[in-house]
C-alpha cells in the first residue's frame, strides 16, 4: 500500500518546496525558479500516473502487449511549452523591472513604490497615473 | 543558497534528472522535450538574465510564516487526496480503461502511424496542440512588446567591437562548435520528420534548431547572426507557423469536414491524416524555432543595450 | 452555420498573426475592429442557434467526444460569448485614440496582436467542453494579459504585471493539478463525460482534493476576496483600454468557469450538498463587498477606486451563486452581463480622462463636469448603475439578487447587501462632488471634451445600460433559461 503511493508523496514534497520558494523568497528570479519547480513537479505527477507495470513507451511495435498511457504524455508536452512560455515572459519582466527600479528584490521595489506616494501629497502631477 | 548562478545550474540538473525519470516512466517524448526545454533553453535564458541583474540574492526571507502556512495547508490537502489515488503502475486504474484504449488499439488503423503520442497530439487532440503553439506565439509577441529596442546603428559598432574581442578569445570552442552546428541543425530536421515513428516532432525539432542558431550567435556575436537571420524575418516565420497550422484546419472546413478533420484532406483518409500531421508539425516547428530565437535575440539585445549604456556612462565620467 | 462554434474562436486567433504581417498600426486597428465585429456577429448567430435547436456540440477533428476535443455551446456559453465579443468590439473603437498617448508608436501593432490573442483566449475558455483545453486557452489569455498590463506607462505596471504573473501561474497550476487528479479518477477530460463519471467516485478523497484545487485556482483568477491582491494594481497601471476590456470581461470568464465546474462538471449535489461551498461563498462574498467597498472609499486614484469596486461586485455575483436557487443564479448571470456594461463604460470614460489630462487622480477631476460634460455624465451614470438606481441595468440585477435572498429568507444577508450598496453610494458621491462642485485646477482650465471615437464607445455602453435597465426581456429571458438549464430544469 505504501509503495503504491510513494511517487505521489515525492511529488508533493517537490511541489511544496516550489510553492514555498515562490512565496517566501523576495528575489524575483528565485520566485520564477520556484514557479518552474512547482510546474515541473506537476509534470511528474501526470507522467507517473501514466505508467503501467511492465509496459513500454507508447510506440507501436511487434511483440509488445502492454503500453503506457499516451494521453498524459500529450498533456504534459503541452504543459511544458506553457511552462517555458510563462518563465520566459516572467524573465523578460524581470529585466524590465531591473531597469526601472534598479533592483529585483521584492522589498526594495515595494519601498520604491511607496516612496513617491508620500511625496505626492504636494505635487500630484508627477504622481501615479 | 543565495548564489543565483548555482541555483539556476541546480534547476538545470533537476530538469535533466526529471527527464531521465520520464524515460524510466516510458514517456520518451516528454523526456526529450523536458531535456531540451528545462535543461536547455530555460537554463540558458535564466543565465542571460542573471548576467544582467546580478547573481546575488538578498538572504532575507520576507513572508516565511505565510509561506509555511500555505505550503502546509496545500501539502496536507494533497497528501489527503493521494490516499484514494489508484496505485502506481496498476493496469486497472480508470485512466487505462476509459478513452485511452481506443488510442492504443485503433490509432494504427485510424491514423496509421506507430507513435501513439504523436497521433493523439497531432490528430485526436490537435486543437490542444494548436493552442500550445498559440501560447508560445503569445509569449514571443509579449516579450517583443516588453523588450524590443529601436536600433541606433551608429551605437552598434562600439558594442560589436567589445563583443568581437570577447568572441575571438575562445578559438577551440569556436572551431569545435562550428563543426557541430550543421549536425545540430540536421538532427533537428531528422527529429522534425521522424516524429511519426519515434519520439520527436515539431516542438522538439524547433527547440533543437533554435539551440543551434543560439549557439552560433553566442560564439560569433549577435551582429553577425543578425545579418544571417534578421528580426523581421523571424517574426514573419513565427506568424507563418501559426497560420500554416490554422489553415490546415480551414482547408478541412472547406473540404466539408470539421475543423482539423484530416480525413477529408485527401481521398484516402489515412493518407490525409499523414499529410495533416506533417503540415501541422511543420507549423509547430516554424513557430517554435522562430519564437525561441526571437526570445533569445530580444534578451541578448537588451543586454547589449545595457552594456552600451554602461560604456556610455563610463565615457561620460571620464 | 455548422461551423460557427469553431469560427468564433479561430477567426480572432488567425487574425492575430496576420496583424504581424500587416504592420501599419492604423490598418491593424481597423482589421482588429473588423475581426472583433465578426466575432460579435457570430456570437449573436450562435445564441439564435442555441435558442432554436438547443445545445450545440462540435467535434474538433471529427473525433467523437471523449476521444477528441469537443466544443459545446449552451445558453450560458452563448451569453458569455456575447458579453466578451461585444465589449471587445466597443472598447476597440476607442483603442486607437487612447493608445496613441499611452503606448509608444512602435508597439501599437504588438498591442493589437496581444489584444486579439487575449480575446481568443477568453472565447476559447468559454466555448470548449474539454477540461484540459480550458487550461490551454486560459494560458493564452493570461500570457497576453500579463504582457498587455506591462505595456502601461508607469514602472508600477511592470511590478503589477509580475505579481499577476506569479498569482496567475499558481492559479493555473492549481487548476492543472485538479484536472490531473480528476482525470486520474475518471479517465476522461471531457466535461460532459466527467459529469457522468464523477458521481461514481464522488466520495473519494482524491475527488475532494481535485475539486478544492480547481476552485481555489479559479478563485485566484477571479480575484475573490481574499485572493484579490493582484487586481487593484493590475487594473490601475495597465493602459486604459486594457483595463476597460479586462474589467468588463476577465473576471466574468473566471466566474463562468466557476459556474461550469460547480454546476456542470461536479454537479450540484456534490458542490453544494456534500461540501460547504454555499456557506463559504456567502461569507467570502459578503466580506469581499464590505472590505473592498470600504477600501474603495479611501482611494485617491479613480482607477484604483473602481478596481476595488470590481472586487466588491465579484462579491455580489458570488452571493447570487451561494443561494443555490434558480433566482439567485439568474441574478448572478444578470449581474455578469450588466456589470460588464457599466464597468466597461466607466473605465473607458476614465481612459478618456487620462487621454485629456494624463492621469486619473481624483484631485484632477475637480470641475471637469463643465469641461468634459459627456464623459463625466457617463462616469456618474455608470456609478448610479453600480449603486443600483432604478432605470439603470444595475437596478435589475440587484433587484433579482434581493428577491433571491428573500426567497431563501436570508434577511440579514439582504440587509448587508443594502449596506454594501450604501458604501457604493459613498464612493460614487465622492466623485460626483469633485466633478461638479469644485473649481477646475489651474492646469486643467483648457481641457476639452474627449475625442469623438471615445464618446461613441462610451455612450454605446451607457445607452445599453439604460436599455437593459428598462427593457429587460432579452437579458432576463436569456439568463433565466440559462439558469434553469444549469439546474437541470427544462426552460
DSSP state letter for C199: G
**Given an 8 Å threshold on Cβ–Cβ distance, is B199 in contact with A69?**
no
- Residues β-bridged to residue C128: C71
- What integer is the mean pLDDT of B252-273? 87
The pLDDT, as a whole number, for residue B196 is: 74
- Name the residue ranges covered by the structural domains of chain A: 2-52+70-122
What local confidence, expressed as pLDDT, does residue B313 receive? 78
Mean pLDDT of chain B: 84
The pLDDT tens digits of the residues spanning C39-94 come to 999 999 999 999 888 889 998 888 888 888 999 998 999 999 999 999 999 999 99
Chains that touch A (3 or more CB pairs under 8 A): B, C
Q: Verify whether the Cβ–Cβ distance C14 to B150 is below 8 Å.
A: no
Domain-embedded: residue C163? no
pLDDT band at residue B220 using 50, 70 and 90 as cut-offs: confident
Question: For position A124, what pLDDT does the model report?
Answer: 34
User: What is the number of alpha carbons within 13 Å of residue C342 lying toward its C-beta?
Assistant: 32
Residue B230, SS3 per DSSP: coil
Q: Decide which of B196 and C300 is more confident.
A: C300
CA neighbours within 13 Å on the CB side: how many for C444? 27
> Nearest CA of chain A to the CA of B114: how many Å?
5
- Residue C97: phi and psi, rounded to 5, are -60, -45
Chain centroid offset of residue C474 CA: 19
In degrees, rounded to 5, the angle at the alpha carbon of residue B60 between the alpha carbons of residues B58 and B65 is 140
Three-class HEC string of B110-125 = HCCCCEHHHHHHHHHC
- Cα distances from C367 to residues A128, C348, C448, in angstroms, run 20, 19, 12
Contact across the interface for C177 and A128, Cβ inside 8 Å = no
Distances (CA, A) of B40 to A33, A45, B43, B210, B220: 14, 22, 6, 11, 19
Cβ contact C308:C248 at 8 Å: no
C-alpha to C-alpha distance for B172 and C414, rounded to whole angstroms = 78
Residue whose C-alpha cell is 511592470: C158
Q: What is the pLDDT of residue A123?
A: 35
Which helix H or strand E contains C72, and what residues bound it? strand C70-73
Give pLDDT, residue A121.
37
User: Could you read off the pLDDT of C370-423 as tens digits, one per residue?
Assistant: 888 899 999 999 999 999 888 899 999 999 999 999 988 888 899 999 999 999
Tell me the chain A residues in contact with residue B51 when contact means C-beta distances shorter than 8 Å: none
CB C454 within 8 A of CB C352: yes
The total domain count for chain C is: 1
Kindly list the residues from chain B whose CB atom is less than 8 angstroms away from the CB atom of residue C183: 95
Reported residue count of chain A is: 129
Query: How far does the CA of residue C374 sit from the closest CA of chain A (Å)?
Result: 22
| Residues in CB range of C250: below 8 A, 6 or more apart | C122, C141, C145, C221
Model confidence at A126: pLDDT above 60: no
CA distance linking residue C71 with residue C60, whole number of Å: 7
pLDDT of residue B160: 61
Q: Helix (H, G, I), strand (E, B), or coil: what is residue B174?
A: helix
A86:B139 CB<8 A:
yes
HSE of C466 in the Cβ direction (CA atoms, 13 Å)?
A: 8
Domain assignment of residue C445, given as a range = 276-491
What's the pLDDT at B150? 65
C366 touching A, CB under 8 A?
A: no
Query: Closest chain A residue to B41 measured between Cα atoms?
Result: A84
**DSSP string covering B26-91, please?**
T-HHHHHHHIIIIIIIIHHHHHHHHHHH-SB-----S-HHHHHHHHHHHHHHHHHHHTTSPPTB-T
Mean pLDDT score across all residues of chain A: 80
Digit-coded pLDDT (tens) for B279-297 = 999 999 999 999 999 999 8
What's the confidence (pLDDT) of residue B167?
60
Q: How far is A67 from chain C (nearest CA, A)?
A: 16
Q: C240 to each of B231, C235, C336, C461, how far by Cα in Å? A: 30, 8, 21, 16
- How many helices (DSSP H) and strands (DSSP E) are in chain A? 4, 0
In contact, A66 and A52? CB cutoff 8 Å? yes
Among candidates B99, B243, B257 on the partner chain, residue whose Cβ is nearest the Cβ of C14: B243
Query: If pLDDT is split at 50, 70 and 90, which confidence band does C10 have?
Result: very high
pLDDT for B140: 94
What does DSSP assign to residue A105? B
User: Would an 8 Å CB–CB cutoff place A34 in contact with chain C?
Assistant: no
Neighbours of A3 (CB within 10 A): 9
pLDDT in tens, A45-70: 888 888 877 777 777 777 666 788 88
Q: Is B102 on the interface with C (CB under 8 A)?
A: yes
Indicate if the pLDDT at residue C277 is higher than 90: no
| Residues A96 and B146 sit within 8 Å (Cβ to Cβ) | yes
Average pLDDT over residues A17-22: 89
CATH, domain A2-52+70-122, list 1.10.630.10, 1.10.10.10, 3.20.10.10, 1.10.287.3510: 1.10.287.3510
- Residues of chain A with C-beta less than 8 angstroms from the C-beta of B41: 84
How many helices and strands in chain B, by DSSP H and E?
A: 14, 0
C189 touches B61 (CB < 8 A): no
Pull the grid cell for residue C331.
441574478
Chain B residue with CA closest to C181: the answer is: B85
Residues 186-225 of C with CB under 8 A from A: 189
What's the pLDDT tens digit per position in B127-176?
999 999 999 999 999 999 998 876 555 555 666 666 665 566 677 777 88
Sign of the CA dihedral running B157, B163, B166, B171:
negative
Q: How many whole angstroms separate alpha carbon A85 and alpha carbon A105?
A: 23
Question: C222-266: per-residue pLDDT in tens?
Answer: 888 888 888 999 999 999 999 999 999 998 999 999 999 998 888
Q: Which of A35-39, C166-170, C272-276 has the lowest mean pLDDT?
A: C272-276
Q: How far is A12 from B253, CA to CA, in rounded Å?
A: 44
| Chain C 12-31, residues with CB within 8 Å of chain B CB atoms | 13-14, 16-18, 20-21
Classify strands C56-59 and C70-73 as parallel, antiparallel or unpaired. Answer: antiparallel
pLDDT in tens, B76-122: 888 888 888 887 777 778 888 888 888 888 888 888 888 888 888 88
Q: Which among A59, A103, A106 is the top mutation candidate for probing chain B, defined by the most B β-carbons within 10 Å of its own β-carbon?
A: A59
Mean pLDDT score, B50-69 = 79
CB interface of B with C, residues 163-192, below 8 Å: none
Q: Does residue C177 belong to any structural domain of this protein?
A: no
Q: Flag whether pLDDT at A119 surpasses 50.
A: no
Largest CA distance in chain C: 70
**Rounded distance, CA C163 to CA A113, Å?**
14
C334-347 burial, b if ≥16 CB within 10 A, otherwise e? bbbbbbbbbbbbbb
Which DSSP category does C364 fall into? G
* C359/A127 CB distance under 8 A: yes
Q: Are the CB atoms for C447 and C368 separated by under 8 Å?
A: yes
* Whole-Å CA distances, C259 to C131, C425, C446, C480: 14, 29, 49, 15
Interface residue of C17, C65, C207 to substitute, partner B, most B CBs within 10 Å: C17
Q: Is C112 within 8 Å of chain B by CB?
A: no
Inspect the interface and report whether the beta carbons of A16 and B74 lie closer than 8 Å: yes
Q: How close does chain B come to C488, measured CA to CA in Å?
A: 26
Q: Chain B: nearest CA to A119, how far in angstroms?
A: 26
Where do we find the cell 436569456? C478
Contact C236 A128 (CB under 8 A): yes
Say which range, B13-22, B187-196, C390-399, has the weakest mean pLDDT: B187-196
Identify the residue among A6, A35, A62, A91 best suited for mutation to test binding to B, counting B beta carbons within 10 A and taking the highest: A91
Using an 8 Å CB-CB cutoff, list chain A residues near C152.
Answer: 129
Whether C342 is covered by a domain: the verdict is yes
C-alpha cell of residue A64: 509488445
Helix (H) or strand (E) holding C73: strand C70-73
* C-alpha distance from A2 to closest chain C C-alpha (Å): 16
C365: which DSSP letter?
Answer: G
The per-residue pLDDT for C43 is 95
Return the residue matching grid coordinates 552560433.
Answer: B216
pLDDT at A127: 35
**Residue C296 located in a structural domain:** yes
Using the structure block, give the residue that is written with the C-alpha cell 477646475.
C440
Which stretch of B43-47, B57-61, B206-210 has the lowest confidence by average pLDDT? B57-61
Residue A64: which H helix or E strand, with range?
A: none
A129 touches chain C (CB under 8 A): yes
Window A:77-116, CB contacts with C under 8 Å: 78-79, 82, 85-86, 89-90, 93-94, 96-97, 100-101, 109, 113
Amino acid at each position: 500500500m505504501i509503495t503504491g503511493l510513494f511517487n505521489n508523496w515525492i511529488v508533493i514534497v517537490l511541489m511544496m518546496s516550489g510553492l514555498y520558494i515562490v512565496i517566501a523568497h523576495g528575489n524575483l528570479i528565485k520566485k520564477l525558479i520556484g514557479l518552474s519547480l512547482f510546474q515541473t513537479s506537476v509534470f511528474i505527477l501526470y507522467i507517473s500516473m501514466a505508467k503501467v507495470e511492465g509496459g513500454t513507451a507508447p510506440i507501436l511495435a511487434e511483440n509488445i502487449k502492454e503500453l503506457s498511457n499516451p494521453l498524459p504524455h500529450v498533456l504534459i508536452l503541452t504543459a511544458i511549452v506553457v511552462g517555458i512560455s510563462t518563465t520566459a515572459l516572467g524573465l523578460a519582466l524581470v529585466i524590465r523591472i531591473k531597469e526601472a527600479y534598479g533592483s529585483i528584490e521584492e522589498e526594495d521595489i515595494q519601498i520604491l513604490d511607496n516612496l513617491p506616494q508620500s511625496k505626492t501629497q504636494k505635487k500630484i502631477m508627477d504622481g501615479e497615473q | 543558497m543565495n548564489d543565483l548562478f548555482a541555483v539556476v545550474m541546480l534547476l538545470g540538473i533537476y530538469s535533466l534528472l526529471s527527464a531521465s525519470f520520464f524515460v524510466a516512466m516510458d514517456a520518451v517524448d516528454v523526456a526529450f522535450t523536458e531535456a531540451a526545454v528545462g535543461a536547455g533553453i530555460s537554463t540558458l535564458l535564466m543565465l542571460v538574465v542573471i548576467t544582467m541583474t546580478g547573481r546575488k540574492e538578498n538572504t532575507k526571507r520576507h513572508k516565511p510564516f505565510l509561506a509555511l502556512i500555505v505550503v502546509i495547508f496545500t501539502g496536507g490537502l494533497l497528501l489527503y487526496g493521494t490516499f484514494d489515488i489508484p496505485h502506481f503502475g496498476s493496469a486497472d486504474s480508470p485512466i487505462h480503461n476509459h478513452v485511452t484504449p481506443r488510442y492504443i488499439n485503433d490509432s494504427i488503423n485510424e491514423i496509421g502511424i506507430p507513435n501513439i503520442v504523436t497521433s493523439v497530439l497531432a490528430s485526436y487532440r490537435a486543437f490542444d496542440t494548436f493552442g500550445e503553439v498559440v501560447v508560445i506565439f503569445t509569449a514571443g509577441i509579449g516579450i517583443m512588446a516588453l523588450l524590443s529596442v529601436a536600433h541606433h546603428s551608429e551605437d552598434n559598432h562600439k558594442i560589436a567591437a567589445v563583443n568581437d574581442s570577447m568572441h575571438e578569445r575562445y578559438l577551440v570552442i569556436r572551431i569545435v562548435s562550428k563543426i557541430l552546428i550543421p549536425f545540430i541543425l540536421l538532427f533537428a530536421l531528422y527529429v522534425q520528420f521522424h516524429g511519426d515513428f519515434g519520439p520527436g516532432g515539431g516542438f522538439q525539432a524547433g527547440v533543437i534548431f533554435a539551440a543551434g542558431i543560439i549557439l552560433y550567435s553566442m560564439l560569433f556575436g549577435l551582429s553577425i547572426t543578425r545579418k544571417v537571420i534578421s528580426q523581421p524575418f523571424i517574426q514573419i516565420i513565427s506568424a507563418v507557423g501559426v497560420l500554416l497550422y490554422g489553415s490546415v484546419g480551414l482547408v478541412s472546413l472547406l473540404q466539408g469536414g470539421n475543423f482539423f478533420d484530416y480525413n477529408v484532406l485527401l481521398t484516402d483518409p489515412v493518407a490525409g491524416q499523414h499529410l495533416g500531421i506533417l503540415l501541422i508539425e511543420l507549423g509547430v516547428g516554424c513557430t517554435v524555432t522562430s519564437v525561441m530565437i526571437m526570445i533569445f535575440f530580444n534578451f541578448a539585445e537588451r543586454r547589449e543595450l545595457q552594456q552600451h549604456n554602461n560604456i556610455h556612462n563610463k565615457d561620460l565620467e571620464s | 452555420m455548422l461551423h460557427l462554434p469553431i469560427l468564433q474562436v479561430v477567426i480572432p486567433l488567425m487574425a492575430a498573426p496576420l496583424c504581424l504581417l500587416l504592420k501599419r498600426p492604423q490598418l491593424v486597428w481597423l482589421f482588429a475592429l473588423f475581426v472583433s465585429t465578426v466575432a460579435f456577429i457570430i456570437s449573436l448567430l450562435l445564441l439564435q442557434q442555441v435558442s432554436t435547436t438547443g445545445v450545440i456540440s462540435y467535434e474538433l477533428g471529427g473525433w467523437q467526444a471523449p476521444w477528441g476535443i469537443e466544443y459545446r455551446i449552451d445558453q450560458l456559453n452563448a451569453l458569455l460569448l456575447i458579453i466578451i465579443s461585444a465589449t471587445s468590439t466597443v472598447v476597440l473603437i476607442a483603442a486607437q485614440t487612447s493608445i496613441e498617448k499611452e503606448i509608444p508608436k512602435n508597439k501599437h501593432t504588438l498591442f493589437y496582436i496581444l489584444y486579439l490573442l487575449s480575446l481568443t483566449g477568453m472565447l476559447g475558455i468559454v466555448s470548449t467542453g474539454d477540461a484540459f483545453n480550458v487550461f490551454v486557452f486560459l494560458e493564452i489569455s493570461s500570457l497576453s494579459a500579463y504582457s498587455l498590463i506591462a505595456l502601461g506607462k508607469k514602472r508600477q505596471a511592470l511590478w503589477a504585471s509580475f505579481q499577476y504573473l506569479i498569482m496567475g501561474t499558481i492559479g493555473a497550476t492549481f487548476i492543472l493539478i485538479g484536472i490531473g487528479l480528476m482525470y486520474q479518477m475518471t479517465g476522461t477530460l471531457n466535461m460532459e463525460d466527467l459529469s457522468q463519471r464523477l458521481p461514481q467516485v464522488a466520495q473519494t478523497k482524491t475527488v475532494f482534493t481535485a475539486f478544492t484545487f480547481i476552485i481555489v485556482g479559479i478563485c485566484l483568477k477571479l480575484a475573490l476576496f481574499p485572493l484579490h491582491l493582484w487586481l487593484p494594481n493590475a487594473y490601475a497601471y495597465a493602459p486604459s483600454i486594457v483595463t476597460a476590456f479586462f474589467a468588463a470581461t476577465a473576471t466574468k470568464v473566471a466566474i463562468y468557469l466557476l459556474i461550469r465546474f460547480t454546476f456542470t462538471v461536479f454537479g450540484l449535489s456534490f458542490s453544494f450538498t456534500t461540501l460547504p461551498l454555499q456557506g463559504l461563498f456567502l461569507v467570502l462574498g459578503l466580506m469581499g463587498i464590505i472590505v473592498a467597498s470600504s477600501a474603495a472609499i479611501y482611494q485617491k486614484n479613480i482607477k484604483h477606486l473602481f478596481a476595488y469596486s470590481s472586487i466588491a461586485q465579484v462579491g455580489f455575483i458570488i452571493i447570487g451563486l451561494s443561494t443555490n436557487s434558480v433566482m439567485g443564479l439568474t441574478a448572478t448571470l444578470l449581474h455578469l452581463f450588466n456589470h460588464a456594461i457599466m464597468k466597461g463604460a466607466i473605465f473607458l470614460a476614465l481612459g478618456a480622462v487620462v487621454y485629456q489630462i494624463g492621469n486619473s487622480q481624483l484631485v484632477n477631476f475637480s470641475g471637469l463636469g463643465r469641461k468634459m460634460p459627456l464623459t463625466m455624465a457617463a462616469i456618474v451614470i455608470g456609478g448610479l448603475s453600480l449603486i443600483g438606481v432604478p432605470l439603470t441595468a444595475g437596478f435589475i440585477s440587484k433587484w433579482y439578487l434581493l428577491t433571491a435572498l428573500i426567497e431563501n429568507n436570508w434577511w440579514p444577508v439582504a440587509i448587508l447587501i443594502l449596506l454594501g450598496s450604501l458604501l457604493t453610494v459613498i464612493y460614487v458621491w465622492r466623485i460626483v462632488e469633485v466633478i461638479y462642485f469644485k473649481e477646475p485646477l489651474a492646469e486643467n482650465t483648457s481641457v476639452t471634451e474627449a475625442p469623438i471615437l471615445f464618446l461613441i464607445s462610451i455612450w454605446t455602453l451607457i445607452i445599453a445600460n439604460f436599455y437593459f435597465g428598462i427593457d429587460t426581456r432579452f437579458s432576463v429571458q436569456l439568463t433565466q433559461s440559462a439558469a434553469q438549464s444549469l439546474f437541470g430544469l427544462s426552460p
